[in-house]
Amino acid sequence: MKPREPKHLVQLVDKRKNEGNYRQLSEMPAHMVDFSSNDFLGLARETEIEDAAHTLLSQYKLCSNGATGSRLISGNSKFYIDTEAYLSQIHQSAATLIFSSGYMANNGLLSSVPQSDDLILFDELCHVSIREGIRLSRATGIPFAHNDLNQLEALLKKSTAEKYVVTESIFSMDGDLTPLMEMTELCEKHNAYLIVDEAHATGVFGWGRVQELKLSQRIFARIITFGKAIGTSGACIAGSQQLIEYLINFARPLIYTTALPSYVLARIRAAYAFIETHPERIQDLHGRIAYFNQHAQSLPLIRNESAIHALLCKGNEAVVDLSKHLNQHFFFVKPIRYPTVPKNTERIRICLHTFNSTHEIDALIQSIRTWQEKYLLQASEQM
């Protein structure tokens, strides 16, 4: 006898299937070329980092299995404290606090810091973790048009409340860059606290675009994620000592979550050290980005300087067909469909990596062009 289940479990999943939005878990076959993952610098597969992490664990004489509890119970250690001090030095911050993921860092920061009478202005394309953190806060959240500084200033002028502005330095779906210098100046002009998510910039633009633009001391808080270019997992919030003390006392995702195990911290430390001693990895990545931009000029792309490129393909049916075509030609990509992105902005999210050869990039571009010709021909025949 089966246990009872709510009717909507089947109804809503069937609705997704009928609309072409059904999600399934899959793995990347070993024979396919990765143009999908966030492992921009190839550090997730770097054996030198694995070896260095094991050395660190041995030096600290640490158990490598589990943390045994939350940071406030039994999960804290000298290694944790030393790792946060190391990250503070690297990221030119008074203090940092490690969370289990970027999602939890955004959630913890935004749900606890702004208060009920405060105003949070956030870019309309911000990640769902930012939106959900804002929703959980008691503050008023208002989106502004993507990278629209004029609208942002108009909203800042209207309010006499304590104000927070939230953005990403590189946006995860379009891969475009925020005008951080101008936004920082705007926030300073109107006494707003600027929060920047550096998830897709850390490691790609050195230690992030905030540091690249020398804005470290002018930003209220940064969210730095280790699951993208750093090649492991977890995240940290960088800010003042007072902010970190506050989060330790009020950020629920930190307080009520088991701490990261020592081996994850070791891989974070080892990955940062690897980047410090191998700056050519970042140079290689930007070489691939420049090559792709030069040779893919005829494609309907949102072009930018980051490792993420959106190949626009209107409609869920079309973008799924394109992804299947590319998969059949051994390119691992995923379709990004509505409602994850607005209708008619469906896309293939192409991620470039240091391990993608120019030959692979050429072959990917040619395969996209082949599909375009075939799809246009089929569309004209059906008219």
Of 129, 147, 169, 172, the catalytic one is 172
Of 228, 309, 325, 334, the catalytic one is 228
Dihedral sign, Cα of residue 56, residue 62, residue 65, residue 66 = negative
Of 84, 174, 197, 346, the catalytic one is 197
For residue 56, give both structure tokens. Answer: 């660190």
Based on the residue annotation, tell me whether 329 is a catalytic residue of this protein.
no
Of 200, 325, 334, 353, the catalytic one is 200
Of 34, 123, 168, 174, the catalytic one is 168
Contact indicator for 215, 99 with CB cutoff of 8 Å: no
Helix, coil or strand: residue 163: strand
Based on the residue annotation, tell me whether 197 is a catalytic residue of this protein.
yes
- The number of beta carbons lying within 10 Å of the beta carbon of residue 84 is 19
Contact indicator for 93, 198 with CB cutoff of 8 Å: no
284-290's contacts with Cβ under 8 Å and 24+ in sequence apart are 284/354, 285/40, 285/41, 285/204, 285/352, 285/353, 285/354, 288/352, 288/353, 288/354, 288/356, 288/358, 288/361, 289/352
Find the DSSP H helices in 61-101: 78-90
Of 34, 100, 127, 346, the catalytic one is 127
CA distances from 320 to 28, 38, 174 (A): 17, 20, 18
Measured between alpha carbons, how far is 222 from 216 in angstroms, rounded to an integer? Answer: 9
Based on the residue annotation, tell me whether 200 is a catalytic residue of this protein.
yes
Beta bridge partners of 140: 119
Based on the residue annotation, tell me whether 172 is a catalytic residue of this protein.
yes
Give the DSSP H or E segment for 228: none
Of 38, 88, 101, 147, the catalytic one is 38
Based on the residue annotation, tell me whether 168 is a catalytic residue of this protein.
yes
Beta bridge partners of 96: 238
Catalytic residues: 38, 127, 168, 172, 197, 200, 228
